[in-house]
Homo-oligomer: A and B are copies of this chain.
Amino acid sequence: MISLEVQHTDGKARAGVLSTPHGRVQTPIFMPVGTAGAVKGVTPEQLTSSGSRMILANTYHMMLRPGGRTVEELGGLHAMMGWDGPILTDSGGFQVFSLAHLRQIDDEKVVFQSHVDGSLEELTPGRCMEIQRQLGADVIMQLDECPPGDATLEHVARAVDRSILWAKECKRAWLAGGESVQSLFGIQQGGVFADLRARSAEALVELNLPGYAIGGLSVGEGHEAMVLALDAADSQFPADRPRYLMGVGEPRDILAAVQRGIDMFDCVLPTRNARNAFAFTWGGRLRLRNAQWTADPAPLDENCSCYACSNFSRGTIRHLFMAKEMLAATLLTIHNLHFFAEFMAAIRSSIASGTLESDAKQWVSQMYASRRIPGDEK
């Protein structure tokens, strides 16, 4: 099981330590995404040396290939991924609603067609717990229904009720497995509707779970709406439990969420941006395919100490992208993960020194005022 020790607060923001069966990590924390059993483009050694301490894997992908049972036979996700630190698995719900061909959904189950081989698959709260037990992550997620960002109030309300029902079922199945080292998180839904978010949180907190996730955001509602939906999070969830904002992401969103009491984040942004040739820096994003870098012998970021910046120039990395060399994506992934690790470390220091509000303003203006920013490269 996990536990959170809050060490510093600054307004609603908090910095602390999350203890897990696979070690202690500092919060607020950003978790790189290892969708199919690997964080794309890097080895676990490169993950560690770029400063990553806790990662996420997707239940949906692993249940379809190689399957929960095979993962268990191979020693679980930690053994498979060569990763000794903590792992979090999502429930598969989000991908069922976004990636799969959805066939049927009711209060008992969701039936969908696999994007891997077209087979019909079924996910119930009990099956969701069983698969995540086979995967063996430190933190597991309840099955939830995640409506799109433009869903009607009626649709979102139904999703809230169904997700509450599934939270109870998941808790029952999780407890029925006997004493577990895994920690179950409930997932708040409710879209941009404050009343629904409140109803969802209240029902989940009643279940007294080890942690709480905030779902259904970063699905197209926009930065302002997301921030509004997070405004009540600190009062809705108990202070001694970790709060996890799913699928976020963008540095300015992370800052706004930390300032509203969020402890954990995950997103494909740094790794996917890397494969698309975008490098994060404190001065904004660089597009490495631009011809301006062709003969530039400077590193991506003069002040960065990552492996890519210590050994390669912008010119070389641009060349590697143009020549379609795998090394290009690997180097930018290492750099972007290092940037996110440094960014979260800066946030924690800032909380400890009580200067997060002014620091956040300055960081956002540095990162987003520059002409270097691409449109929306997520």
**Residues of A in contact with B (beta carbons under 8 Å apart):** 36-38, 40-46, 61, 65-66, 70, 73-75, 79-82, 294-295, 297, 307, 311-313, 315-316, 319-320, 322-323, 325-327, 329-331
Contact = CB atoms under 8 A, between A and B. Distances in A.
A319 B61 contact: no
Given A38-B320, A326-B41, A326-B330, A297 B75 contact: yes
A75 to B, nearest CB: 6
Contacts of A319: 36-37, 65-66, 70, 74, 80
Contact of A37 (B79, B294, B311, B325): B325
Given A43-B330, A45-B307, A75 B325 contact: no
Contacts of A73: 295, 297, 315
Nearest to A327: B38
| Nearest 9 A/B pairs, CB to CB | A82-B311, A36-B323, A73-B295, A38-B327, A74-B315, A38-B325, A66-B319, A80-B316, A41-B326
Contact of A40 (B40, B45, B295, B325): B325
A82 B312 CA distance: 6
Contacts of A42: 327
Given A319-B37, A319-B66, A43 B326 contact: no
Contacts of A36: 319-320, 323, 325
One complex includes copies of this chain to the number of 2
17 contacts: A36-B319, A36-B320, A36-B325, A37-B316, A37-B319, A38-B323, A41-B326, A41-B327, A44-B311, A45-B307, A65-B319, A66-B315, A75-B297, A80-B312, A82-B311, A326-B326, A330-B330
A218 B44 CA distance: 38
Given A44-B311, A61-B323, A320-B37, A294 B70 contact: yes
Contacts of A38: 320, 323, 325-327
A329 B315 CA distance: 25
Nearest to A320: B38
Contacts of A37: 316, 319-320, 323, 325
A74 B43 CA distance: 28
B297 A66 contact: no
A58 to B, nearest CB: 11
A141 to B, nearest CB: 21
Contacts of A43: 46, 307, 327, 330-331
A66 B328 CA distance: 14
A79 B316 CA distance: 9
Nearest to A295: B73
Which of A36, A316, A327, A330 lies at the interface centre, i.e. has the most chain B CB atoms within 10 A of its CB? A327
Contacts of A311: 44, 82
Nearest to A313: B74
Contacts of A44: 311
Contacts of A320: 36-38
Contacts of A74: 295, 297, 313, 315-316, 319
Which of A37, A40, A74, A81 lies at the interface centre, i.e. has the most chain B CB atoms within 10 A of its CB? A74
A37 B319 CA distance: 9
A306 to B, nearest CB: 12
A61 B325 CA distance: 12
Nearest to A42: B327
Contacts of A331: 43
Contacts of A316: 37, 74, 79-82
A66 B322 contact: yes
A324 B320 CA distance: 20
A313 B74 CA distance: 8
